[in-house]
Amino acid sequence: PAQDFAVDLSNCDREPIHVLGTVQPFGFLIALTADWLVSRVSANSADHIGLSPEQMLGRPISGIFSGEAVHSLRNRITLLRGPDAVERIFSLTLVDGIAPFDVAVHFSGSLVVIEAEPASHDEMEASSMVRSMVSRLGQTQGMAAFLRDGARQVRALTGFDRVMVYRFAEGGDGEVVAEALRPGIDSFFGLHYPASDIPAQARALYLRNIFRVIADVQAQPVPIVPQLDPSGAALDMSLCLTRAVSPIHIEYLGNMGVGASLSISIVVEGRLWGLFACHHYGPRLPSFAQRSAAELFGQIFSMMLENRERSETSAYEGKARQVADRLMSAVAQDHDLLSNARWLGEVIFDTIPADGVGVYIDGQMTFSGLAPDERSFAAIVAMLNRAAAGQVFTTDHMARLLPESSAHADRAAGLLAIPLSRRPRDYVVLFRAEQLRSVRWAGSPEKHIEYGPNGPRLTPRKSFEQWSELVRGAAVPFTAAELRVAEALRTALLEVILRLSDSAHDERQ
């Protein structure tokens, strides 16, 4: 490897996965200088075009590739726009007398990087598949069906045994939110994993390069020759299709008995929303055209998801406005409703899901659903009184703020408090139970496969246990959208309360 970096479980977020200096053996790589001299070649070049790196390094590519190949490559390179662009050419005769290749070309710094693999001649079929996939997807009703159908389509296109839609939460933890499976294999649907399973540098890379395949987990990676250029730099392979991946991740896949892995980034509003994560229980390399089609499908899927999320958000905001209006007019009619926890819960939970509600008004407490007892609630109110005045307060892990509340985390691990007045401070508080209560546990223990050097930590079951430890005592966090709604409810309630106190004041006069 180009870098002297001993990677283990404690430092894998610093492993420089873009400069590992190896390709997967299904393809080969040639890097050219700006004046088209061969500057790097993967060690397997002779397997593909009969010439070893030593026979090519330093020579002009025009003396190696056919005239047609050099011409098309030059044309395509002029089409490259933007820093992360990659062009593809199907069925190109690179060397006269040798069967054509499917080729990708892009810039890495000032180098032109050419990657090639034997041509598959199936581009038309794959692209017509995408058309019908997209039209089917457009007809699905509701988010769950949309995600499930996306997984099914990716499975139809790639033929992988397992296709998951893996969604990232705020801090990088992930959850399997949809799945399509070959019959007879265990489902991972609903399982959660810690952020460390797809470390930060990998998530950043997956935003730039949205597709990757590991065709054969057992295959020996092929080094690039030379590893370092005369200035000591390794080839930046961020945008390569043949990039061999982190040995830690290979160990993870091996421990799971997975033979091939493929993933496609799902990018929404410029953020890595999630991945299509696919496993096959044997080696598998979809053709270049199928991979391109799957990548295109991923891009279209992402845009459709973005649209759906936007319309869901505006529908949600509309509903939230209705709830605020309903609260306001009902409380204006009958202000005792304000201390009716059960009624408040019924009105609010639809837009801000929670497990229970507590109301504190003039020292009086009422509760509904899962909530702490009076003594704990009094302690919570005292804590809230120390928080900034006049705004909604939330935490997903109350025990961190109030250690004694860990005793009732099963009922109230997280809260969202809506202050109703400045002084005395009255509150409506929504409670969420510990997230683990509602989560699906990893199913059957994994069949014991020989573990790699880092042992069983690198298995989904151990990952899941790790995630469970991390979130013990914590509730599902209230989202930014839910906070905005709570803020709107606060304003609405405040308005009625002020009106009520004005009219009480008028009556007294």
Q: Which residues bind ligand BLA (CB under 6 A)?
A: 9, 12, 15, 17, 174, 188, 193, 196-199, 202, 212, 214, 245-246, 248-249, 252, 261-263, 275, 277, 279, 458, 460, 463
Q: Could you please report the per-residue DSSP string of 408-427?
A: GTTT-SEEEEEE--SSS--E
| Closer by beta carbon to ligand BLA, 263 or else 351 | 263
| CA distance linking residue 480 with residue 41, whole number of Å | 49
Q: Are 64 and 98 in contact (CB under 8 A)?
A: no
Min separation Cβ 364 and ligand BLA, Å? 48
For ligand BLA, the closer of residues 102 and 197 by Cβ is: 197
User: Do 188 and 164 meet the contact criterion of CB atoms below 8 Å apart?
Assistant: yes
Helix ranges (H only) for 41-142 are: 45-49, 53-56, 67-79, 123-138
Q: Is the CA virtual torsion 104, 98, 56, 26 positive or negative?
A: positive
Work out how close the CB of 256 gets to ligand BLA at its nearest, in angstroms, rounded to a whole number: 7
Which is nearer to ligand BLA, 20 or 492 (by Cβ)? 20
CB of 287 to ligand BLA, least distance (A): 18
Closer to ligand BLA by Cβ: residue 206 or 367: 206
CB atoms within 10 A of CB 416: 25
Choose between 48 and 243: whose C-beta lies nearer to ligand BLA: 243
Q: Cβ 104 to ligand BLA, closest distance in Å?
A: 17
Which residue in 209, 245, 330 sits closest to 12, CA to CA? Answer: 245
Q: How far is the CB of 170 from ligand BLA (least distance, A)?
A: 17
Nearer Cβ to ligand BLA (60/257): 257
Q: Rounded to the nearest whole angstrom, what is the least distance from the CB of residue 190 to ligand BLA in the complex? A: 11
The DSSP secondary-structure symbol of 139 reads: T
Q: Report yes or no: 107 and 115 within 8 Å, Cβ to Cβ.
A: no
Q: Shortest distance, CB of residue 161 to ligand BLA, whole angstroms?
A: 12
Q: Which is nearer to ligand BLA, 321 or 462 (CB)?
A: 462
Burial class of residue 167 in the structure, from the number of CB atoms within 10 Å of its CB (0-12 exposed, 13-18 middle, 19+ buried): middle
> How far apart (Å, rounded) are the C-alpha atoms in residues 54 and 478?
60
